[in-house]
Amino acid sequence: MPKHTGRGIAAIEYPTGMNQNGDPSQAWIKVKPDGRVDVFAGTSDIGNGSKTIQSQIVAETIGVPYDWVTYDNSNTDSSPVCTGTFASRATFVAGKAVEKAAERVKERILDIAGKELEIDPSDLEIVDGEVLAKGAPQKKIAVPDVAAAATWTYGELITGTGAQLKPYASIVDPETGEVDLPPHSAISYAACAAEVEVDDETGVVQVTRLVQVYDVGRAINPTLVEGQIEGGAVQGLGLGVLENCYPYYPSAEHRGGQFGSYLAPGFEDLPKIDTIIIENPSSDGPYGAKGIGEMANNAQPPAIAAAVFDAVGVWVTELPITPERILRALEAKAEPVRDGKRVVFDSELSVNAVSQGGIAFEVPA
Amino acid sequence: MKLTVNGIAHDVVSAPLATLLDVLREDLGITSPKAGCEQGGCGACTVLVDGEPQRACLTPAASLEGLEVTTVEGLGAPESLSPLQQAFTHHYAAQCGFCTSGMMLAAEGYLKRGGTDDREAIQEALAGHVCRCTGYVKIIDAVAAAARGDSFDLTVTAPSAGMTNLGGV
Amino acid sequence: MKAVGARLPRYDGIEHVTGRTTYVDDVRVPGTLWAKALRSPLHSATMSGLDVSPAEAMPGVHAVITAADVPLLEYGHLSALGIPADEPLLAKDEVRYKGQPIAIVAAEDEETAMAAVDAIEVDFDERPPLFDIRKAFDADAPKVHPWGNWYPHFEGEMDRRQIRKGSIDEAFDRADVIVQGVYRPAAIEHVPLETQVSLAVPEANGRLTVYSCTQALYFSMGVIAAHLQVPLNKLKVVGGTVGGGFGGKVDTASETMCALLAQKSGRPVKWRWTREEEFLCSSTRAPWHMEIADAVTKDGWILGRKMLTLHDSGAYARFSPYGLTKHSFHHTGAYTIPNLSFDGFVIFTNRVPTTAMRGFGVTSVSFATETHMSRVANVLGLDPYEVRLKNANRIGDTSPNRIVYTDPSTVSVVKALAGGMEVELAPEYAAMTRDPREGDLLPEHLVSQMADPEAH
Amino acid sequence: MTQGTEVLFPTSANEAIAQFGDGSGVTVIGGGTIVMPEITYGRMAPTKALLLSRAGLDTLEVDGASVTVGAALPIGRLAELAEDVTALAQCALNVADYEIRRQGTVGGNVCAGEGHDAPRGDLQGPFLALAAEACSVGADGERTEPLDDFLAHRAGRLLLDLRFEKPAASAFAAIDYPHTHEYTVLAVTGVRTTGGETRLAATGLAGYGTRLRSAEAASSDPEQAAAAALKDVTVGDDALASGWYRERTLPVLVRRVLSELEEAA
């Protein structure tokens, strides 16, 4: 079989949270009389795990077991504003809001525990559902007892709210794109290597391996991080070699309306995936986390394009890199146009070749 | 007609060519099989018919007289999860969860017919099922673990093979 | 016991594996009507003689809505940011893409609703469509909107997103080599396993409960309230449990129509899109056209980048101006390039409007700039890891919009990738860190780009 | 509307034949994989539906050199022929996925009409290359004829079975893209008969599966046969691939099939 293997790499970055900010998330937490914790936030769980991650942040911040936390994002009557689950903001921005609300709850628990124990709240800490005197852990009161005291003795509701809003970054100079504030709260980074096998007679390309590196800031839940990265890898593979709403773009002919005619990746398209996580903490995210869900399908397509070049010596720069595009490129044997110090690829795709004088891409000589 | 679902016989009166999916969801209120495409393309509606996985959206309910239909409710309840349900939980094989019922029943069928933990065999057996969230890795991990007869600690989840954490660098 | 950093099980994991998670389509409200849409069969046309009365007269049909039933017909996805609306909830007088909703029917069952849709009368006068964004500026190009074919409302009422930094002419003058290429990623369907679905229930107290698969409860509530012209206390949006989104379920594609039908019929109304509607009529990730010319030195420094981006927005703007702005901010990728000239346009075409999808705005530019980076390395005969490390973002470098990088990780991830691929880097690259540039890594052309350490 | 559909549920071949009658107004449902979505999507509203799942047409008989495949045999069961008719088993296993292969029938696949912008009827290729005879009933009674002829005039007929002689060798090659798939872009089946004749057929082209007779005539030289194959076919664009791509790769598959047949012989 005329099969060729190749390797390619890519390195990318991505802004965590909404570009230019200005996107609020809010949360409120109340504590039941037995110390169990109810979290209300408006963050949809689209499979990304908002319910899990935000519950973990609350459990950690207050100092109670994870299974004491009930998380309710079910409706706009009880949950406060959250701009939504997009732009890798559900952990990074909304998670910060619940962290802030949990801090307030913790303060209230310590205040009441301080009264019960007759110790200054600043000398107390909460560990595994118990309020302990720092350095003298035999002096303690269980959080359920604190909650009961709040309810029945002091007539108080232990509650806390939190909100996260970074001010909107305005473009102050539309000529240069200069902004008045950082348009991002944190930038995540990733790198990816792809290995491919290409049949030069049919153009069929199989991605055989993806090695990926992600700086996630801090993995609040490493398993969920893996889930995002692996899911993103396969979507990136789809972008790279399979998926296209308009197979004859720009024509709208032959749009696939079924799973048989729109090629979403399936089990048998799956390459071997190796992933390396780095934790360089962010300054703004909860516990140093960065969002990595969005960027998780960005690095594979360029790595695959470079791997295909390595395998068969042609650059396919229209996605997806289909068997047909590989065969056409192999037939065209296109070399870049060399003119002085200029090396020009893909000139047939340029606006300069297609537009009838409407727009041009001019490069300084 | 009589339709037996998870061991319970139901009298079903519906349009003559109603799909099993419609009958389960709309007539019997069993909503775990999902209308993901109603074209047989995604597998979200798969149920077991006499132990073999089958797309409910492609199946005229009328053809199932005398046969046993199993949905994911028939695998196990929260307090009595089947080994496969435990495997899916421990290996984090469900993210949004919409494909999960069909996926698990396809996997259950695979295990029932003697499927092993061979990853390629699992991929082949589940090939008709689309999951857009997980990238399939952890689903294969879960089915392989169930095939091996692993026991599962449901208070934690398992890392993926091929995962390295370098910490801060 | 630490919760953060622990491999805890999913909060809703047991619900998922027992089939008990309740998605919108699993909510059961007695008396619920089914909705079905009349959609445009043409890419571009003027429309006349819309008559829904034959559908309304059919037994089992409880309500039909058209543009005339919507209190505020046009409300933009980015109206909250001051970006003007351009898309009607239901087509009025003209259609700009195949699949555009024109009228929605609510009936006792799905079959009746389908038959009622078929009974609606409407005439079309077909117009030539525009599909190729590269031709959008040509004198003879079909006009997608009366005002033109590209978005005209960037800051300062500019018709493009622009980045200018340093001196592009000087960079190209000094370059040893100029590498130029064109990059065109495709439109992608989100393919959530749960198609677009919503259920609106009129309550006795005059409120509407809207069960929604939205990724953004409050955003969608704002959209519904604006179209209906009601205060937020008249709505309760129920959701938070979504069968996959990937960006496509921010659009609020079905909720408002269900709410209007529920108001008009006084009955609960559910609209679940078929998979074919999801594939053919729901918004997609945009196709993009990107041209890059890099001014580079023989030893692999990127001195300058000139870039043109055309973003195929489809028929309406939705989130596209936001996406293009984000794209422009990241057109240097994970690297520091001192001289920049970027021009980007949001182009309208007669295809389904495009919207946010995972990596929105940046997926495209990452593909273009990273494939280009590999080409540059290949043209220069240099190692692809080393070219990337050399130009990597470092602490104190500045971004295209002059923001200082405080904690970049390009160096970390590229070195870790080399480790993972068992590639041995030359000693000076193996020793590289993200610390501020100095020595050989601070050539004269980058000195002026370094931020004043005191400035931020 | 399906509310008014009369559903017929024959429990024997004879009952099925009687209920099919002259076929007028009858929609045949084998496994349902093709018809049921059309009903769900409102594109088809049968007045009378004939469900074959219990009609006893799911037979697979091997009698010496002769093989008879019942029209309602699930596609996946053709894998049982892996030793005798390798290409047919390979082609069957290349159809969709495990569940669809259990549910979809050989007859449904062979009689499939145009797909939704993707090729259907994968099994037409091997059966054409095997020169299968189709036994069917209809207005003029029972008829056994070459599959080619049956496909051209199948309206109003109920396929009962397909019959063919075991070949000396067979080979199958398909475009393996995407790797997980429902439909196959292009596939070629080659058969070497016990008499030494070589027969070739392709699917994924415009219309039905096609015998590649020009390529067969040149089959002693795989390169010439590959080039000649293009004379036998009409190609078209669909969502999976263009006609251009199919023209480029049909010769490749023909060459691969012929060299595999050489090796097998």
pLDDT of residue C453: 54
Helices marked H in C57-167 — which ranges?
A: 110-119
Chain B contact for D220 (CB, 8 A cutoff): no
Burial of B48 (0-12, 13-18, 19+ CB in 10 A): buried
Question: To probe the interface with A, which of C144, C213, C215 has the most A CB atoms within 10 Å?
Answer: C215
Which regions of C32-137 does DSSP assign to beta strands (E)?
Answer: 33-39, 45-51, 61-65, 94-95, 101-107, 121-126
Please report, in angstroms and rounded to a whole number, the separation of the first and last CA atoms in chain D: 54
For residue A277, what are the CA distances in angstroms to A213, B168, C132, C424? 6, 9, 41, 20
pLDDT of residue A181: 92
Chain B CB contacts of D48 below 8 Å: none
Sequence-separated (6 or more) residues with CB below 8 Å from residue D140: none
- pLDDT by residue (tens digit) across A254-273? 999 999 999 999 999 999 99
> Subunits that touch chain C (at least 3 Cβ pairs < 8 angstroms)?
A, B, D
Sort residue C6 into left (φ over 0), alpha (ψ -120 to 50) or beta: beta
Chain A CB contacts of D204 below 8 Å: none
- Nearest residue of A to residue B94 by CA position? A47
For residue B103, what are the CA distances in angstroms to B7, B108, B126, B142, C324? 21, 9, 7, 11, 38
| Phi, psi of C150, deg, nearest 5 | -140, 155
- Predicted confidence pLDDT, tens digits, chain C (456 residues): 699 999 999 999 999 999 999 999 999 999 999 999 999 999 999 999 999 999 999 999 999 999 999 999 999 888 877 778 999 999 999 999 999 999 999 999 999 999 999 999 999 999 999 999 999 999 999 999 999 999 999 999 999 999 999 999 999 999 999 999 999 999 999 999 999 999 999 999 999 999 999 999 999 999 999 999 999 999 999 999 999 999 999 999 999 999 999 999 999 999 999 999 999 999 999 999 999 999 999 999 999 999 999 999 999 999 999 999 999 999 999 999 999 999 999 999 999 999 999 999 999 999 999 999 999 999 999 999 999 999 999 999 999 999 999 999 999 999 999 999 999 999 999 999 999 999 888 888 888 777 765 554
pTM value is 0.98
Contacts across the B-C interface (CB distance below 8 Å): 114
Structure-block tokens of residue B150: 């692993």
- Nearest residue of A to residue B99 by CA position? A47
CB nearest B132 (choices: C15, C246, C415): C246
| CA-based nearest distance C446→chain D, Å | 46
| CA-based nearest distance B101→chain C, Å | 6
Instruction: Confirm whether D157 is domain-assigned.
Output: yes
Q: Which candidate, A185, A14, A31, A157, places its Cα nearest to that of A93? A: A185
Chain D CB contacts of A261 below 8 Å: 115-118, 183, 238-240
B100–C17 CB contact, under 8 Å: yes
* Domain tally, chain D: 1
Rounded Cα gap, residues A361 and C290, in angstroms: 10
CB nearest D2 (choices: B16, B39, B59): B16
Rounded Cα gap, residues A129 and A112, in angstroms: 14
A276–C402 CB contact, under 8 Å: no
> Subunits that touch chain B (at least 3 Cβ pairs < 8 angstroms)?
A, C, D
Instruction: Confirm whether D172 is domain-assigned.
Output: yes
pLDDT of residue D2: 61
Q: What does the pLDDT average to over A76-90?
A: 96
**pLDDT value at A170 more than 80:** yes
> Subunits that touch chain D (at least 3 Cβ pairs < 8 angstroms)?
A, B, C
| CA-based nearest distance B18→chain D, Å | 8
Contacts across the A-D interface (CB distance below 8 Å): 81
Query: What is the complex's ipTM, to 2 decimals?
Result: 0.97
Instruction: Confirm whether D177 is domain-assigned.
Output: yes
Q: Which candidate, B34, B35, B63, B28, places its Cα nearest to that of B49? A: B63
Q: What does the pLDDT average to over A264-283?
A: 96
Q: Are C70 and C64 in contact (CB under 8 A)?
A: no
- pLDDT by residue (tens digit) across D89-147? 999 999 999 999 999 999 999 999 878 889 999 999 999 999 999 999 999 899 999 99
| CA-based nearest distance A329→chain D, Å | 12
For residue B145, what are the CA distances in angstroms to A68, A266, B141, B150, B160? 29, 21, 6, 5, 12
Q: What does the pLDDT average to over D209-218?
A: 97
CB nearest D237 (choices: A242, A254, A267): A254
The C-alpha angle D99, D207, B54, rounded to 5 degrees, equals 10
Chain A CB contacts of D240 below 8 Å: 247, 261, 263
- pLDDT by residue (tens digit) across A55-75? 999 999 999 999 999 999 999
CB nearest A356 (choices: C138, C168, C235): C138
pLDDT of residue C94: 98
Neighbours of C331 (CB within 10 A): 24
pLDDT of residue D1: 45
- Nearest residue of B to residue C432 by CA position? B169
pLDDT of residue C77: 80
B17–D2 CB contact, under 8 Å: yes
pLDDT of residue C456: 46
Rounded Cα gap, residues C397 and C411, in angstroms: 13
| CA-based nearest distance C196→chain B, Å | 10
pLDDT of residue C452: 65
A262–C409 CB contact, under 8 Å: no
Question: To probe the interface with C, which of D36, D38, D41 has the most C CB atoms within 10 Å?
Answer: D41
- Half-sphere exposure of residue C4, counting CA atoms within 13 Å on the CB side? 20
Structure-block tokens of residue C229: 């012209």
pLDDT of residue D114: 79
Instruction: Confirm whether D1 is domain-assigned.
Output: no
Chain C CB contacts of D3 below 8 Å: 111
| CA-based nearest distance D115→chain C, Å | 14
CATH number at residue D138: 3.30.465.10
Question: To probe the interface with B, which of A209, A225, A230 has the most B CB atoms within 10 Å?
Answer: A230
CB nearest B128 (choices: D29, D51, D97): D97
Structure-block tokens of residue A49: 């795990």
Structure-block tokens of residue C287: 């196709």
Q: Are D245 and A324 in contact (CB under 8 A)?
A: yes
- Segment holding A140, helix H or strand E: strand A136-142
pLDDT of residue C447: 85
| Phi, psi of A165, deg, nearest 5 | -150, 115
pLDDT of residue D179: 79
Strands B68-70 and B2-5: parallel
Cis-peptide into D178, omega within 30 deg: yes
| CA-based nearest distance C194→chain B, Å | 6
Domain residues for the domain of D147 are 6-264
Contacts across the A-B interface (CB distance below 8 Å): 110
**pLDDT value at D163 more than 80:** yes
Strands C161-165 and C339-348: antiparallel
What is the full DSSP assignment across chain D?
-GGGPEEE--SSHHHHHHHHTT-TTEEEESSSTTHHHHHHTTS---SEEEE-TTSS---EEEETTEEEEETTSBGGGGGGGTTTSHHHHHHHHTSS-HHHHHHSBHHHHHT----SSS---TTHHHHHHTT-EEEEEETTEEEEEEHHHHHHT-TT-EEEEEEEEPPSEEEEEE---SSS-SS-S-EEEEEE-TTS-EEEEEESSSSS-EE-HHHHHTTTSHHHHHHHGGGG------SS--HHHHHHHHHHHHHHHHHHHHHH-
Structure-block tokens of residue D185: 């872009």
| CA-based nearest distance C432→chain A, Å | 16
| CA-based nearest distance B88→chain C, Å | 7
